[in-house]
Amino acid sequence: MSKATFSPLDLYKILPQTNCRKCHLPSCLAFAAAIVGGSKRLKECPDLDQGRLADFSAKYQSPEAKETNQAEFIDKLQEKMAGLDLAKVAPRIGATIKGETIIINSLGKDFILDHQGNMTSECHIIPWVQAPLLSYITHKSHAEISGSWISFREIKGGIEWQGLFTSRCEEPLRKLADDNPDLLADLITLFMGRAVDWYEADIALILYPLPKIPILICYQAPEDDLQSKLTIFFDACCNTNLHIKSIYTLCAGLVQMFAKIAEHHS
Ligand code: SF4
């Protein structure tokens, strides 16, 4: 019988929870997320209790196995690509076809993929975009953009990922916006976003990390004793168009990229 897959929160429970930063991440929760996302290795936590890890591995898919799974995951997605009729898929996902390739726009930049899932782009290949992009193309169902906005926790599986989404996506982006008051407005220009005036906030903008994955970022600046507030919403179609893990990976990658942009600007 195959073992259950685990979420970052499942793994977090067996970590030392000291937030000692020896793994070069700010917290054990961030480390758990990085393991699930494939960017960290368990051996990078020197204080991990091997007994607890063994118990965990008996119940769940082994974390060590999962470490190699990110590469395998991409391999599998690439295999799935080979079986797709890209000409049929393209109109459903808001992409176009050119010769033997499919072209998908992410934040105003074109990504070109061949039948083997090999990707090239007019900009640098951004590693975090590869898995969500392949997942998006090979996802079994696709819905049209609805114009109705939902929170992360309303997406299927979102409640389980909500803690990480807040700590790795909304919270760091809120702090970035606090420290760089022009950043969100700049994102509109840099990434072909659109400001909206129907949401009551200091700034609200829509970005398209993938053609049918629109996100709405709403930011209220700090005032007097009130802390700033930032919320990311999703078009209801995201519920159908991408798995929750890929939505989380996409948003966490975006926020990291925005942080780099803010560094260059300051
Ligand atoms: S090294 Fe281990 S205990 Fe320390 S923060 Fe990282 S995961 Fe937590």
Per-domain boundaries in the chain? 8-67, 75-138, 149-265
Tell me what pLDDT residue 214 has: 96
Domain 8-67 superfamily per CATH: Electron transport complex subunit B, putative Fe-S cluster (1.10.15.40)
Q: How far is CA 110 from CA 97, 126, 219, in A?
A: 12, 12, 28
User: How would residue 154 be classed by pLDDT, with cut points 50, 70 and 90?
Assistant: very high
Ligand 1 mutation target, pool 19, 29, 42, 167, most atoms within 8 A of CB:
19
**Residues 104/93, Cβ–Cβ less than 8 Å:** yes
Query: For residue 198, is it left (φ>0), alpha (ψ between -120 and 50) or beta?
Result: alpha
CA distance 175 to 227: 10
Mean pLDDT, residues 121-133 taken together:
70
Which mutation among 11, 29, 31, 43 tests ligand 1's pocket best, with the greatest number of atoms within 8 A of CB?
Answer: 31
Instruction: Indicate the pLDDT class of residue 62, thresholds 50, 70 and 90.
Output: low
pLDDT greater at residue 90 or residue 262: 90
| Residue 200 scores a pLDDT above 80 | yes
Radius of gyration of the chain (CA): 19
Ligand 1 lined by 90 (C-beta under 6 Å): no
pLDDT of residue 169: 92
Residue 227 reports pLDDT greater than 80? yes
- Most informative mutation of 12, 14, 45 for ligand 1 (most atoms within 8 A of CB): 45
72-101 mean pLDDT = 89
Mean pLDDT, the chain, whole residue set: 86
**What number does the ligand 1 atom closest to the CA of 16 have?**
3
Between strands 119-121 and 229-235, the pairing is: unpaired
Q: Considering only 112-126, 174-188, 239-253, which range has the smallest mean pLDDT?
A: 112-126
Is the beta carbon of 29 within 6 A of some atom in ligand 1?
Answer: no
| C-alpha 258 – ligand 1 centre gap (Å) | 25
Q: Is the pLDDT of residue 64 over 70?
A: no
pLDDT at 90: 94
Alpha helices, H only, 113-157: 127-138
Residue 260 has pLDDT above 90, yes or no: no
Is beta strand 109-113 parallel, antiparallel or unpaired with respect to 101-106?
antiparallel
CA-nearest residue for atom 6, ligand 1, is 23
Highest-pLDDT range among 36-50, 63-77, 116-130, 154-168:
154-168
Q: Is the CB of 34 under 6 A from ligand 1?
A: no
